[in-house]
Amino acid sequence: MGAGGAVSDGEALMAKFQKLKTDEPGVTEYAFTCPGCGGLHMIRTEGERPRWEWNGDVDRPTCSPSLLVGPGTSYQCHSFIRDGQIQFLGDCGHELRGQTVDIPEWA
């Protein structure tokens, strides 16, 4: 590991949330890869509802309220995002229901 005093900004730190490009003015959205259902989930932080409160940290995100994807389906994914981890609730359709795991770094 480098021990130099200069901080390089040439290499971006890994992040869990990836900012999405959008054509809509006043809209900010982030995406992350869900380790539970394997899908991509979108979090809108600015714009019209649905919209989430977010702590502004792409590496250790915390969002509220909970995220519910595919309600009523067999692949329902219901979670809380806290401090870079995703807490899957018991009503998820996938195997990580009831577990809390790290959100993977955006590849």
Residues of the shown chain interacting with Zn ion in the complex, contacts defined by CB under 5 A: 34, 36-37, 77
Kindly list the strands in the beta sheet with 53-54, ordered across the sheet, starting from the edge strand earlier in the chain.
53-54, 63-69, 77-82, 85-88, 100-102
Nearest to 65 by CA among 76, 52, 56: 52
**CA distance linking residue 37 with residue 10, whole number of Å:** 33
Q: Which of 37/58 has CB closer to Zn ion?
A: 37
Instruction: State the minimum distance, in angstroms, from the CB of residue 23 to Zn ion.
Output: 26
Q: Which of 77/81 has CB closer to Zn ion?
A: 77
Q: Which of 24/40 has CB closer to Zn ion?
A: 40
The residue ranges of DSSP E strands in 8-76, in sequence order, are 18-20, 28-33, 40-46, 53-54, 63-69
Instruction: State the minimum distance, in angstroms, from the CB of residue 14 to Zn ion.
Output: 20
Instruction: State the minimum distance, in angstroms, from the CB of residue 44 to Zn ion.
Output: 16
Instruction: State the minimum distance, in angstroms, from the CB of residue 76 to Zn ion.
Output: 9
Q: Which of 24/104 has CB closer to Zn ion?
A: 104
